[in-house]
Amino acid sequence: MSPKVKSDLYKAAGVDIDLATELLGQVKRKFAATRRPEMLAPVGGFGGLFQIDLSRYREPVMVSSIDGVGTKLMIAMMMEKFDTVGHDIVNHCINDISVQGAEPVYFMDYIGIGKLRSPLYDEVLSGIADACKAANCAVLGGETAEMPGMYGNDFDLVGVITGIVEKSELITGEKIRPGYAAVGFGSNGLHTNGFSLARKILFSQCGYNVHTYLDELGETVGEALLKPHTCYYPAIREAQKAKLSLDGIAHITGGGLYDNVPRILPDNVTAVFDSSVLPVPPIFKVLVEKGHVDPVEAYRVFNMGVGMVWFVPADQADKAVAIGRGQGFTAAVIGEVVPGHGDVRIR
């Protein structure tokens, strides 16, 4: 039990320790629901404890990633809706390690904020817990730093994730050859990238706000922008179970198809994509038309409707598409691999 103090100097300086404890307590039950048997202690210790089940692996490889939500947080603050950014940070991180074949096993978060407040704090943490539970990924711990004078009324959100994959089952892209098919998985919008340009176009140039309803979108600007980042791990997991020859995966984040796909391509091939196959979410059409964005730049800044790309031998393309659709994703063959120079062409 915390001792009673005779003054509240720290609270008056802008840091409310008791509020942090109270709000965290409200979501601890959700954190507990993410628990995996490998966890040796509940959330709240100085360090999270996770024991690898070595009976499951011959040569386990730990795969880790760290990322943030970026200026999408500004949209959440404008909308006063914060649970979806919790899903964003978890799903983005899961995608980043699952492209290498890793099963996400535990997640940790960092929230830096000028003034701790509800419902922001509890909604963010609830979103994190719900997204982790959906992926069977444990919330192992986290850090909240209340820093008045540093963030003002703003906040930042960062996630760190760790996964495990058998060394022999690592997905690296090195097996990709001419003749391979590129299977695209549809996105539901911007995910967590391109918001600086989107905000400039929609708010500065067009004069919209998050509550502006656009017929082209069928919803408000804020609703379109705040759609949570899609988690594609369920499809990857099913592909692994089905023994699909899934030899390369690219998560399409900042840099789009042009910059993310070459990260996994051998130097002697080029990936050629057909931009007309998967539907382009309306928000991208609005941004490109109203912002007069050059198509090449659009496909570098935004995902343009393609959230992930799988590379498989051509004779397994139909199976890959069926797996994706079976998990509820929009999936289709959107390109092919040809001899080249480790780059991307979009037609």
Tell me the pLDDT tens digit for each residue of 123-135: 999 999 999 999 9
Question: Is residue 163 situated within a structural domain?
Answer: yes
- Do 148 and 202 reside in the same domain of the chain? no
- Do 161 and 243 reside in the same domain of the chain? no
- Do 111 and 254 reside in the same domain of the chain? no
Q: Is 274 a residue whose pLDDT tops 60?
A: yes
Supply the CATH number for residue 23's domain: 3.30.1330.10
Strands 103-113 and 138-146: parallel
- Do 122 and 253 reside in the same domain of the chain? no
| Residue 26 tokens, joined | 């409200």
Which range among 15-24, 256-265, 268-277 shows the weakest confidence by mean pLDDT?
15-24
Query: How many whole angstroms separate alpha carbon 94 and alpha carbon 67?
Result: 10
- Do 34 and 119 reside in the same domain of the chain? yes
- Do 109 and 154 reside in the same domain of the chain? yes
Question: Is residue 80 situated within a structural domain?
Answer: yes
The total domain count for the chain is 2
pLDDT per residue over 86-143, tens digit each?
Answer: 999 999 999 999 999 999 999 999 999 999 999 999 999 999 999 999 999 999 999 9
- Do 83 and 208 reside in the same domain of the chain? no
Burial zone of 327 (CB within 10 Å; 0-12 exposed, 13-18 middle, 19+ buried): middle
Residue with tokens 């830096």: 112
- Do 195 and 131 reside in the same domain of the chain? no
- Do 99 and 222 reside in the same domain of the chain? no
- In terms of residue numbers, what domain contains 162? 9-169
